[in-house]
Amino acid sequence: MDPGAGEDVGPIETAGTGRPADKPVTLLLWRHGETDWNLERRFQGQSDVGLNATGKRQADRAARLIAALQPSAIYSSDLARAVSTAESLARLTGLPVILDKDLRERNGGAWEGLTDTEIRQFYPEEHQVWSPPDGEPTAVITDRAADAFERIADSVPAGTLAVVVGHGAAIGFGMSRLLGLSATERVIGSLANCSWSVLSRRAGRWRLLEHNVGRLPEPVPDVAFAVASGRAAEGAGEVPAGDGG
């Protein structure tokens, strides 16, 4: 699958070789569904918190959308909230879930289990630079996540899409590294629970195709369309739906 098909993505041959350019490998980076700690704004890190009822519903709904993309593989962090999310897709596709501990969330050290308010109160200096005491430095989680994404991309056939289920910070930091962006400036916004981003790698270059996909508001009603449809039905001798008693 190439979500970028039809776009101006550059020459069709690898420069200087005369050979066709590589087919892209596409990664769909999917954040896990909601947990109670997400609701309470607690730093989860590598604490093994499971999905709540809302998170399970989110995962089931998102899995139906992602399954339509016909993924070739499913990789997941080995933390329970990610595994449960991945299993929703595995049930629909029949694909196994391949666990990878390098997809785990950032180790939050002393912050794990604390709310954002408590972190601000007890660790004001560390909060300013977002560096958890006794936790995983930004450079380490960035390298770990980016290396995992590259390794997964190397393991799947060209022209296919692999789903990678993980965590907000790990996905964000790793994605920034692949795109050549600063991890500390967080140019790319955060992922909502059970939303995803799509990256493709072609000839060694990464491109962001979609970001924070998965949840859209309900469309506003098109009153003009409804009125026009009603008039057309009346003109054809039909009774508009809902008006027949």
Render pLDDT for 45-65 as a digit per residue (tens, 0 to 9).
999 999 999 999 999 999 999
In the chain, what are the domains? 25-220 (3.40.50.1240)
Q: Which of 105, 112, 136, 167 is catalytic?
A: 105
Q: Which of 32, 112, 136, 167 is catalytic?
A: 32
User: Does 234 score more than 70 pLDDT?
Assistant: no
Q: What is the pLDDT of residue 222?
A: 72
For the question of residue 105 being annotated catalytic, the response is yes
Confidence of residue 15 (pLDDT cuts 50, 70, 90): very low
Confidence of residue 82 (pLDDT cuts 50, 70, 90): very high
Q: What is the pLDDT of residue 186?
A: 78
Render pLDDT for 196-224 as a digit per residue (tens, 0 to 9).
999 999 999 999 999 999 865 666 777 66
Structure tokens at 71: 């993924």
Residue 78's alpha-carbon distances to 199, 204, 226, in angstroms, are: 22, 28, 49
Whole-prediction pTM: 0.81
For the question of residue 32 being annotated catalytic, the response is yes
